[in-house]
Amino acid sequence: MISVHDITKVYGSQTVLNIPHLEIPKGQSFGLVGNNGAGKTTFFSLLLDLIQPTTGKILNNGVQVDISEAWKPFTSAFIDETFLIGYLTPEEYFYFIGELRGQNKADVDALISGFENFFHGEILGQKKYLRDLSKGNQKKVGIVASFIGNPEVVILDEPFANLDPTTQIRLKQIIRDLASDKDVTVLVSSHDLMHVTEVCERIVVLNKGEVVRDIQTSPQTLRELESFFAG
């Protein structure tokens, strides 16, 4: 589904990402971990054509992401709160995204009705603009909006950050349910090693922009990751 070929990103004299080759097959739940500055967000930004690679290319279902937009209809993401539109209410934002992705209001209502527990009564019907919500509630809106339109690829950058424990538990189940559909490829980055091992079947570790571990998740994975980062 996603194929990386000789991708580098260089700023000045600093190489922040260098991945000669990486394949993420269709339907895989893929986790990306690493310390701050490891290159996680850079990789996702390249995958979403938010920045240009210095060298190399990324293919999403055979489409080179930096020269064609044909990947966009089947790909969605939530990177951070800057993706949101602060002067809209959550409902207005959901309908806006739905319109972009060919969904009518009934389609969107049917989707978001399934996330009432995740919203915990703090999102819908509050008559608040997105800019006035807490960081955690903004994140809830962005995550659920990424599910609109039946995407085949869903990219979530640090989805567990700023969420309370109850919401984190609910989000893990949402990601597991999403990943159980083998037509959907889910990419998750996280600083939380326990969360990512619980929701991803494969975990790649980035260190200083390079892949240093590529692990099929097992009962030993969390211990292996903790040992690696303990140094």
Angle at 131 between CA 125 and CA 133, to 5 degrees: 50
- Domain assignment present for residue 89? The answer is no
- Domain assignment present for residue 181? The answer is yes
- Domain assignment present for residue 107? The answer is no
- Domain assignment present for residue 109? The answer is no
pTM of the model: 0.94
Cα–Cα dist 54/11, whole Å: 9
- Domain assignment present for residue 101? The answer is no
As for how many domains the chain has, the answer is 1
pLDDT in tens, the chain (231 residues): 899 999 999 999 999 999 999 999 999 999 999 999 899 999 999 999 999 999 999 999 999 999 999 999 999 999 999 889 999 999 999 999 999 999 999 999 999 999 999 998 899 988 899 999 999 999 999 999 999 999 999 999 999 998 999 999 999 999 999 988 888 999 999 999 999 999 999 999 999 999 999 999 999 999 999 999 997
- Domain assignment present for residue 104? The answer is no
Parallel, antiparallel, or unpaired for β 2-11 and 210-216? unpaired
- Domain assignment present for residue 125? The answer is no
Domain coverage including residue 176: 2-84+151-230
Provide the CATH number for the domain around residue 36. 3.40.50.300
- Domain assignment present for residue 114? The answer is no
